[in-house]
């Protein structure tokens, strides 16, 4: 989005929302193709981004629908970053890199303790049951595109 002209930012953002809010993988793929055609001439970076990342965008559709909103959103990460910035403003000047790492590490430990006793962002049992399916989908995607897809990297 960094290469999108400011006058077109709202329009491109709305088109991206259409992709991410599609009801099925098939619908999302059709919208991706339409958006690529729409911006091919005047904003080729958008077309290139969708061409390179289209399969990664569509991976969400192989999971149960109840996970879609959580995986599409970065709200938890943004909230964590806000908390780090809030605490950093209190300290203002850090004596060295280690002190920064300790502050962030302690914050992450706090969040881990807060979530460990039972709060659940995702029901990981059902998610893990889908992993063999995801791995198969990734292998098929890589064979079809000839690219290494980061679809389930780190899972």
Over residues 99-131, the pLDDT tens digits come to 989 989 999 998 888 877 666 666 667 666 766
Domain boundaries, the chain: 6-63+130-145, 73-115
Return the pLDDT at 134.
Answer: 60
Q: CA quadruple 59, 65, 71, 73: dihedral positive or negative? A: positive
Return the pLDDT at 10.
Answer: 94
Return the pLDDT at 124.
Answer: 65
Over residues 67-89, the pLDDT tens digits come to 777 777 777 888 889 998 998 88
**Around 60, how many Cα atoms within 13 Å sit in the side-chain half-sphere?**
22
Helices (H) and strands (E) in the chain, counts: 8, 0
Q: At 152, is the pLDDT very low, low, confident or very high (cuts 50, 70, 90)?
A: very low
Mean predicted lDDT score pLDDT of the chain? 79
| Cα–Cα dist 121/98, whole Å | 30
- Look at the pTM and tell me if it is higher than 0.85: no
Return the pLDDT at 59.
Answer: 81
């Amino acid at each position: 989005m960094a290469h999108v002209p400011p006058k077109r930012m709202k329009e491109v953002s709305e088109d991206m929302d259409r992709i991410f809010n599609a009801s099925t993988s098939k619908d999302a793929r059709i919208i991706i193709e339409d958006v690529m055609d729409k911006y091919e001439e005047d904003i080729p970076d958008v077309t290139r981004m969708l061409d390179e990342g289209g399969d990664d965008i569509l991976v969400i559709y192989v999971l149960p629908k109840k996970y879609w909103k959580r995986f599409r959103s970065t709200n938890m990460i943004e909230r964590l970053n806000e908390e780090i910035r809030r605490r950093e403003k209190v300290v203002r000047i850090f004596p060295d890199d280690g002190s920064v790492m300790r502050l962030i590490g302690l914050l992450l430990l706090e969040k881990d303790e807060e979530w460990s006793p039972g709060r659940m962002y995702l029901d990981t049992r059902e998610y893990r049951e889908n992993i063999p399916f995801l791995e198969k989908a990734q292998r098929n995607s890589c064979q079809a595109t000839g690219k290494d897809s980061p679809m389930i990297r780190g899972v």
